[in-house]
Amino acid sequence: MKTALVTGAWGFVGRHMTRALREGGWDVIGCDLANPEHPVDVLDVFRRGDRVFDLVVHAAARAPHRAAIDGRPATMAYNLQLDSAMFDWALRTGQRRVLYLSSSAVYPVGFQDGNEQWRLHETNTDSAHGIMPDAGYGWTKLTGEKTAAAAAAEGLAVHVVRPFSGYGEDQGEDWPFGAFAGRVRRREDPFVIWGAGDQTRDWIHISDVVAGALAVVDADVRVPVNLCTGRGVRMYDLVRMFVDQGGYEPTIVLDTGKPEGVRYRVGDPDTFQEIYRPKVSLEEGVARAVRAAVST
């Protein structure tokens, strides 16, 4: 039986990755301090563990959501430590394969100001004209990718994926999609959107994030790959989908005093679609989320 270690297994991506691997017949060990039944410090695993796995999925990160990205920059140091320790451990113990969950935050914010609807291609981080990723979290993930490349040069099999705006029915309210589902469940009126409402994102269902990432591993692709759809949808339009599915008409209020991130973040899906094509449309994802929200 194939074996896997999933770090951050209690988080949104980690728990879906763990479930998918187990359903695929893998023997999976998950580690996460947030697990209330069996908390495990991921750094302790990297300091003391020596078991070799067929696949290490590194999904652990502290608070990778907008409020923390803008308001808690100290998380950067911890996330850098996590990534450095993981790659050091993987090389030292001879791990067979690593899947590194990077982020679309690695892309230069200058390409995402909304003046041009720029589809972010995997090579856009290679600009020689001043790379400025999205806040400390973007720098963390870009550094993680550089560390991954260095580990690969020493012989480690590493796969890097860059998820765009992943979402799902069980996503927490620290993220926009989960927050919107919660507001529909409570039938909030007014319905508040952070920012101007026209910030645009590339939404991809968590099942497609997981299946797509594992398809990258199966295809043995060793360059970074966007996990995206190529379709941009404004926050305001996403809210309209939610309230239409929820069957009510609240007043929509824009809170421009809250963090909103970059204006236009949409991925170029060409490389990804050669490996995997997303199965769940945003409309279906919203419908699932509303059904799940109103049933709780």
pLDDT at 294: 81
Mean pLDDT of the region 10-36: 96
Residue 72 reports pLDDT greater than 60 = no
Residue 216: HSE in the Cβ half-sphere, 13 Å Cα cutoff:
29
Q: What are the structure tokens assigned to 175, written together?
A: 């993220």
pLDDT at 134: 82
Percent of the chain with pLDDT over 90: 80
Mean pLDDT of the region 173-199: 96
pLDDT at 295: 78
Average pLDDT of the chain to the nearest whole number: 93
Q: Are 210 and 167 in contact (CB under 8 A)?
A: no
Percent of the chain with pLDDT over 70: 94
Q: How confident is the model at residue 133 (pLDDT cuts 50, 70, 90)?
A: confident
Got the DSSP string for the chain?
A: --EEEEETTTSHHHHHHHHHHHHTT-EEEEE-TT-SSS---HHHHHHH-----SEEEE---S--SHHHHHH-TTHHHHHHHHHHHHHHHHHHHT-S-EEEE--GGGS-GGGGSSSS--EE-GGGGG-SS----SHHHHHHHHHHHHHHHHHHHTT--EEEEEE-EEE-TT--TTSHHHHHHHHHHTT-SSEEEESSS--EE-EEEHHHHHHHHHHHHHTT--S-EEE--S--EEHHHHHHHHHHHHT--PPEEEETTS----SEEEE--HHHHTT------HHHHHHHHHHHHHT-
Give the global pTM.
Answer: 0.94
pLDDT at 32: 94
Residue 230 reports pLDDT greater than 90 = yes
pLDDT, one tens digit per residue, over 111-123 is 998 888 999 999 9
The rounded radius of gyration (Å) of the Cα atoms in the chain is 19
Mean pLDDT of the region 172-181: 95
Strand pairing partners for 162? 226
134 vs 265, more confident: 265
Name 254's Cβ contacts closer than 8 Å, sequence gap at least 6.
Answer: 192, 193, 195, 196, 197
Of 10-19, 89-98, 122-131, 234-243, least confident by mean pLDDT is 122-131
Q: How confident is the model at residue 62 (pLDDT cuts 50, 70, 90)?
A: confident
Domains of the chain: 3-169+203-228+266-279 (3.40.50.720)
Residue 68 reports pLDDT greater than 90 = no
139 vs 95, more confident: 95
pLDDT at 66: 44
Closest by CA to 111, choosing from 93, 127, 92, is 127
93 vs 294, more confident: 93
